[in-house]
Amino acid sequence: MSSDFAFDGASSALFIIFLVITLAVVAANIFTAIDAGKRPDVAFQQAGTVKGLWIGLPIGSAVLGLVCCACLGPASIVGGIVPVVWFAAFRRKVIEAEERGGPGFGGPPPPGYGGPPPGGYGGPPPGGYGGPPPPGYGGPPPAGGGFPPPPGSGLGPPPGYGPFGPR
């Protein structure tokens, strides 16, 4: 009994070679996503790119590489382009922007931000804040939580008040 999917020595060796290459490409993509994830967002902005792109693209490329290995074999090698582009072109720009620092990197704030005004804020004004309470203010609500009394309890709104306020 013969099978159309039988492996001979040469095809088994070729399969193992492509499997090793695919796993190396997947590992490079995962390393690229981890390396990009360690850098601050502002460094990507200053380098002219987006952090989410360099986290999502390698992960998608790794998944696609695994699918292509199962289906198309040599096509999984194409997933190695993303790490090459990251390490050859963008990583250096992002690291330079990170080392340069600047606004958004946790350094000192720009002039006029971050500290109290000269002389401090001072204390409250003489006599405290505000004045006497406005007319009709009865103080804080009672300790009952301010909910209406239960129906039939004999307790109700004060005279001259309806369920939604003064009549």
In whole angstroms, give the CA distance from residue 67 to residue 152: 71
Cβ-Cβ contacts under 8 Å for 75 (sequence gap 6 or more): 68
What confidence score (pLDDT) does residue 57 get?
Answer: 92
Q: Which residues of the chain have pLDDT under 50?
A: none
pTM of the model: 0.55
Residue 47 φ/ψ, nearest 5 degrees = -85, -5
Residue 136 near residue 166 (C-beta atoms within 8 A): no
- The token pair that represents 26 in the structure block: 């997947």
In whole angstroms, give the CA distance from residue 93 to residue 46: 9
What confidence score (pLDDT) does residue 25 get?
Answer: 86
What confidence score (pLDDT) does residue 28 get?
Answer: 92
Q: Residue 161: beta bridge partners?
A: 166
What confidence score (pLDDT) does residue 137 get?
Answer: 74
